[in-house]
Amino acid sequence: MEKFDRLDGPAAPLAMANIDTDQIIPKQFLKTVEREGLGKGLFYDFRFDMEGVLKPEFVLNQPAYKGVKMLVAGDNFGCGSSREHAPWALMDFGIRCVISTSFADIFYNNCFSNGLLPVVLKLDQVQALMAEAKGGNHVFSVALEAQTVVSPSGQSFHFDIDPGRKEKMLKGLDAIGETLEHASAIDRFEEKRRLTRAWAAA
């Protein structure tokens, strides 16, 4: 998993509440267990019409938001089913951080497991960031170590995060990586077990 320390880049405003995981990545794109390539299906029904033509009015299709790295979204982002493809699709599209007033629990947990930072802020703070995100061509900064989001105008907002999750994000550790950090201790345990309980290995 890629480390997350500091993220600087444009943010797109997505002022819609209750965006569910089927809207983030529709079911027809769930046939793969590969993370690469899912970005093409991100918000597919918002981005494309029935003929597969880009809708110019949708924010992520607008030139000002090309290369977007963050979303400033409405309340209850990521509700619906538990599909892990949702954070995969966001990250494959280039988005590493989503800012909202709240997230669905399963989606929130899946974000941390895959290196996508979900930031929870107060409503007035999200609205302020949303306003500055409109129009594009700007740079927001998210610093995980300091736990701050800084807007293009210099407004700084502090966010809370579980210390354990913060450490894993800073180190780029998923569940497997976290286990491998204890590889030496595991090896010692297995060797001791082999010597003291040889019958169990037979």
Q: Which residue has the higher pLDDT, 35 or 53?
A: 53
Asked if 163 contacts 141 with a C-beta cutoff of 8 angstroms, the reply is no
Element (H, E) at 8: strand 6-9
Token match 């790295």: residue?
A: 69
Angle separating helix axes 163-171 and 105-114, nearest 10 degrees: 40
> What's the confidence (pLDDT) of residue 182?
43
- Please report the pLDDT score of residue 180 as a whole number: 45
- Output 56 or 179, whichever has higher pLDDT: 56
What pLDDT was estimated at residue 197? 65
pLDDT tens-place string over residues 51-95:
999 999 999 999 999 999 999 999 999 999 888 999 999 999 999
DSSP three-state, residue 140:
strand
Tens of pLDDT, residue by residue over 92-112, are: 999 999 999 999 999 999 999
pLDDT for position 161? 98
Dihedral of alpha carbons 106, 134, 12, 141, sign: negative
Is residue 13 pLDDT above 60, yes or no? yes
According to the model, what pLDDT value does residue 179 have? 47
Q: Which long-range contacts (CB under 8 A, 24 or more apart) does 59-64 make?
A: 59/12, 59/13, 59/14, 60/12, 60/93, 62/136, 63/136, 64/10, 64/135, 64/136, 64/137
| Residue with the two structure tokens 């407004």 | 155
In this prediction, residue 173 carries a pLDDT of 80
pLDDT of residue 35: 73
Domain 6-171 has CATH 1.10.3720.10: no
How confident is the model over 122-136, as pLDDT tens digits?
999 999 999 999 988
From first CA to last CA, the distance across the chain in angstroms is: 37
Q: What are the residue boundaries of the structural domains of the chain, listed by start?
A: 6-171
Of 173, 39, 25, 13, the C-alpha closest to 94 is 39
Lowest mean pLDDT among 22-36, 59-73, 155-169: 22-36
